[in-house]
Structure 1
Amino acid sequence: MEKCAKEGTLFMKAIGFYQGLPIDQPEAMLDLELPKPKAEGHDLLIKVLGVSVNPVDTKMRQDAPQTTTPQILGFDAVGVVAEKGAAVEQFEVGDRVYYAGSNQRPGSDEQYQLVDARLVSLAPDKLSVAQAAAMPLTSLTAYELLFDKLHFQRDRKQNVGQSLLVINGAGGVGSILIQLAKWAGLTVLATCSPKNDGWVKKMGADYTLDYHQDLKQQLAGLGYKQVDAIVILHSTADYFDLAADLIRPFGHVAGIVGTPNALPLTKLKDKAASFDWEFMFTKSKYHFQMATQGEALQFLARLFDAGLLQSTLMENIDSGINAENIRRAHQLVESNRMVGKVVVTGDFNGGK
């Protein structure tokens, strides 16, 4: 709830921290009250209704230096437009929207968030707040991997006959990547643990591979000595040699998780294969083709509403957006046992 302080300043609730700490420490997540921002220029001021926690949230919190101003995370949200800047034409106050935003600005773990309108889309009509809040960051990552990095055609069934190997198919990105790849006509092979086999097949994988066992041997048993493209969504350095061995000539390998170890890129030279990094925040950080992210989210919303993609929401903590519940969501993500996505919804009720 907003409240008026001295001199008429409006305040809002938020969840943040001043120092990166283990999530079980009390000051790792705090209920705060901050001045409510105002929309100008290309910005929308969005009243946040639901947020999701991603691995990037936990990593940014763990690595954060001590500061005197609060740090606010959150890079998946659904909300309602409360104000718009003078340069915004494509949205109106009251529109329900979804977005991932930028890692260069305060995130969505606050009651009202400023977001560049070019990064935003109307939310899918047929998804609930929680279902939609689960999707922006992972969907944009999957979209950019498939169509910007791996150069597959962005049309239904237009990539039939081509194969994609997904390392870590049960996670947030893998779960939507599999769906989008299947929509585009690819044959999808995805790694997972046996307990997540059903989920990965539900997402649309043609074949699942137990990552505890020899992956090359399993692929050979399915008749695959090489594949057209490989996406490494976990432990990039650990899987690079395998990817270099399995990728076809002139094929594409892509990763999303940085590594302190140098990758032996020369192993791709003989095949004239390429390696690409995907980082969903690059466009907003460098103000590069920013509107393409809003357009991608619009495109994805149409697929969600047509029933061609499904939300990967697995757990909804619906008792309010506050430090306790955001902490719980961070703990779930940090456990490395999450399948799909976790979302926190409800009123901002810190200090209740």
Structure 2
Amino acid sequence: MKAIGYVAAGPVDAPDALGQFEVATPQIGPRDLLVAVKGVSLNPVDVKLRESRAPAEGPDILGFDAAGIVVEVGSDVTAYQVGDAVFYAGDVTRPGSNAEFQAVDERIVGRKPTSLDFTDAAGMPLTAITAWEMLFDAFRLTEGDGAGKSLLVIGGAGGVGSILIQLAKTLTKLTVIATASRPETRDWVREMGADHIVDHRGDVAQQVKDLGLAPEYVASLTGTEQHYPAILDLIAPRGHIALIDDPQGLDIGPAKFKALTLSWEFMFTRSMFATADMAVQRDLLNRVSAMLDAGTLRSTVTERVGQMSVETLLAAHSRQESGRVIGKQVLSGF
């Protein structure tokens, strides 16, 4: 089958940053589906791994969002059958979706929203899982909870921020504050449902205080190291900070005086360690799919890059690295 990957970690402008290869079609295990990939999207994790993770052997195939059609099922599969249309975010320890076919465990796969085509559907799984787990696993909120409390989303216009704002406004009673600086990103987070917008290029702590709010929850999706002092200043005592980026180091000592909780959200943890509750990701993806079809959530796709090729993927990686992507970029399959 055709696949696109890389043979050496490095910058996007390296001559061999990405290349197309012929590789064997994956062999599936008892709980696996073999999916004919019809759409993919790009996430910051693709860029991080291409830059820093050397392939163990042969080309490393990236891609952690996909939508496609099931063409083969493992002997122990119970939730899907050949011909089903599905979407998922994959497993960081297995070959990715930048290929004609991908093997994926059925427990982390959801049914594709019927209201979206394969390309647009591929833009939703990874960010939706991340946002859902942040709200309900990290913050330990329950649906309908949050009355009288607030959530600050740092990086509101990105892929995770775009769906996190929507989920918070749809499934909880939280007041949502989102950071955005450019006019177009401020408009976008307002469309997603943010109650208040603050400029992350300014004094974030003072802007939040000027709203008369001290958020109990802070979702730090980008620039955590830069914004950490402001977060400690503005967050409510006994508040909770959840982050997804990779700060070089955080001094947790000052968090003691407000008795804060700090945790990471990493949506690949369940698949990476084959946790007993892996199937909750299937359940939440099916819920997100139903909400998209019902119109209670909207797609966060803003850029359709074209059909998957070395050239289009390189363009998407470059665009992702610019830090100016609003929502999500998607590509159709080979």
Matches within 5 A, 1:212-231: 212-224=201-213, 226-231=214-219
Kept in 2: contact 1:332–1:338 (CA 8 A)? yes
1:61 to 22, 47, 50: 50
Q: 1:46-80, CA deviations, whole angstroms, 9 ceiling, x for partnerless residues?
A: 00000001110000000122654110000000010
Identity of aligned residues (%): 44
Query: Residue 283 of structure 1 aligns with which residue?
Result: 270
Residue 222 of structure 2 aligns with an amino acid whose one-letter code is H
CA offset at residue 130 of structure 1?
Answer: 2.2
Q: State the distance in 1 between where 2:317 and 2:4 align.
A: 13
Does residue 21 of the first structure (1) align with residue 10 of the second (2)? yes
User: Residue 296 of structure 1 aligns with which residue?
Assistant: 284
Measured in 2, the distance between the counterparts of 1:14 and 1:32 equals 5
1:151 aligns with 2:140: yes
Change (3 A) 1:239 1:89: same
Tell me the equivalent position of 2:329. Answer: 342
- Alignment correspondent of 2:84: 95
One-letter amino acid of the counterpart of residue 76, structure 1:
D
Structure 1 runs, 4 residues or longer, greater than 3 Å off: none
- The runs of 5 or more residues in structure 1 that have no matched partner are 1-11
* Partner secondary structure for residue 52 of structure 1: strand
The code of the aligned residue for 1:245 comes to: D
The answer to whether 1:178 aligns with 2:177 is: no
SS, match of residue 165 in structure 1: strand
CA deviations on 1:27-46 (whole Å, 9 max, x unpaired) are 11111111112323000000
Normalised by the length of structure 1, the TM-score is 0.91
Match of 2:256 among 269, 292, 305: 269
> Which residue among 147, 153, 168 is the counterpart of 1:166?
153
The answer to whether structure 1 residue 193 and structure 2 residue 181 are counterparts is yes
Aligned: 1:237 with 2:225 = yes
1:131 equivalent in structure 2: 120
Once the two structures are TM-superposed, the CA of residue 301 in structure 1 deviates from its matched residue by 1.1
For the residues of structure 2 that align with 1:292 and 1:66, how far apart are their CA atoms? 30
Q: Are 2:111 and 1:118 aligned? A: no
1:243-276 Cα offsets, whole Å, 9 max, x none, are 1222212221111112222x12122222222001
Larger radius of gyration: 1
Q: Does 1:246 align with 2:234?
A: yes
**Partner of 1:271: helix, strand, or coil?**
coil
Instruction: Name the TM-score, length of structure 2 as normaliser.
Output: 0.96
CA contact (8 A) 1:14 1:34 kept: yes
- The count of residues paired between Structure 1 and Structure 2 equals 331
Q: Equivalent residue for 1:310?
A: 298
Supply the AA of the counterpart residue of 1:231: A
Deviation at 1:182, TM superposition (A): 0.7
What CA RMSD, in Å, does the superposition of the two structures yield over aligned residues?
1.3
- 1: distance between equivalents of 2:316 and 2:89? 17
Comparing 212-221 and 76-85, the one that deviates more: 212-221
